[in-house]
Amino acid sequence: MRPTTRLRACALSISLLIPSALSHSLLVGVVISGKNYHGYDPRPGAVNFADRVGWLTTAADQGFVSPAGYDTPDIVCHRGGTPPPAHAPVRSGDRIKVQWNGWPEGHRGPVLSYLAPCDAATTAAAGDGCASVNKTRLAWTKIDEGAPGLFLPDTPPPGDWASNHLATNNNSWEVGLPLGLAPGPYVLRHEIIALHYAAQPGGAQNYPLCVNLWVEGPAALDNSKTTQPFDLAAGIPAMRMYKATDPGILINISQPLTKSYVIPGPPVGANANPVPVLSQAAPGYTAQGAPVVVTQGSVTVPYSPAVQTEAPVPAR
């Protein structure tokens, strides 16, 4: 199928799925500086792009990871999460629009984003950026948790959540990258935690998805405007982010909250640069981006089949 046909097919299946309890979602792509980079569609029969920057997952049901999976590799970059060879080039301080293929309004909850460098500690193979990273070793620093408009306590239950704004913005979320990032390969981990069944122990639903990034530098980056570099040193593995009993995970959002919602996971890193909920916009794209492949650790070349490091993803 050609991409346009595929997108129409997606739109049709979303409209059929949204009313049902099985409504879930996947990563269509990311838009950076007006250019689109492909995500990954795990549904049976989907056609995926070899130059995608979205991680492969085996979540063919477009489903979630439940609290029972919080201490397993599934929570890192979804079930069966596997990195692609390509990376989307980006600059420190840029906005990345993460495009989901739909989001049911009833799946309310926080929208969280994390960043992890693919460095010597995480990547066994020499110098291919995030393409062969050991995901369980990635050390994540939170860069956005939907504040300050995450939950507006004045609204009646179940409330106005970051996920509602994501749905309103054409099912997308703008992630602001911190200023002062060192150039190099990174994984962006973006996640919605749906809380509609979270009053039951184990009922929260985490939808994590991952994207390979190449942060360019230093010429394109005006670090002179930053007071501090963004510090990733306190990053933690995803398998230590959440517990089933966290107050923001085991919660009945059908009741008025008696105190502020406690956002799950570690705190947002100092000098983060999130796009506030109420400033979220959903610009489209005007062109396809040109992903890069990392070689020798610090060199990038345009993605092409000649430098591909994995077989094209077959239709599944």
Residue 233 class from Cβ within 10 Å (0-12 exposed, 13-18 middle, 19+ buried)? exposed
Kindly state the smallest distance separating residue 219's Cβ from ligand NAG, in Å: 30
Which residue shows structure tokens 């923001």?
248
Kindly state the smallest distance separating residue 231's Cβ from ligand NAG, in Å: 23
Task: Tally Cβ neighbours within 10 Å of residue 257.
Answer: 15
Kindly state the smallest distance separating residue 134's Cβ from ligand NAG, in Å: 4
Two tokens, residue 64: 């979630």
Kindly state the smallest distance separating residue 178's Cβ from ligand NAG, in Å: 24
Q: 13 or 223, CB closer to ligand NAG?
A: 13
Residue nearest ligand NAG (C-beta atom) = 284
Q: Which of 103, 84, 87, 102 is nearest to 32 (CA)?
A: 87
Residues that bind ligand NAG (CB under 6 A): 7, 28, 99, 101, 124, 134, 136-137, 170-171, 199-200, 252, 254-255, 282, 284
Kindly state the smallest distance separating residue 101's Cβ from ligand NAG, in Å: 5
With vertex at residue 96, the alpha carbon angle to CA 29 and CA 196, rounded to the nearest 5 degrees, is 70
Task: Give the residues across from 194 on adjacent strands.
Answer: 205
Which SS3 state, helix, strand or coil, does residue 187 take?
Answer: strand
Q: 4 or 20, CB closer to ligand NAG?
A: 4
Q: 82 or 271, CB closer to ligand NAG?
A: 82
Two tokens, residue 166: 């994501």
Q: 62 or 101, CB closer to ligand NAG?
A: 101
Q: 99 or 280, CB closer to ligand NAG?
A: 99
Tally DSSP H helices, then E strands, for the chain: 3, 12
Between the CA of residue 145 and those of 5, 33, 224, 275, 276, what are the distances in Å? 34, 22, 26, 10, 9
Q: 124 or 299, CB closer to ligand NAG?
A: 124
Kindly state the smallest distance separating residue 136's Cβ from ligand NAG, in Å: 5
Q: 108 or 230, CB closer to ligand NAG?
A: 108
Question: Which DSSP letter does residue 107 get?
Answer: S
Contacts of 8 (CB under 8 A, 6+ apart): none
Contacts of 11 (CB under 8 A, 6+ apart): none
Kindly state the smallest distance separating residue 158's Cβ from ligand NAG, in Å: 10
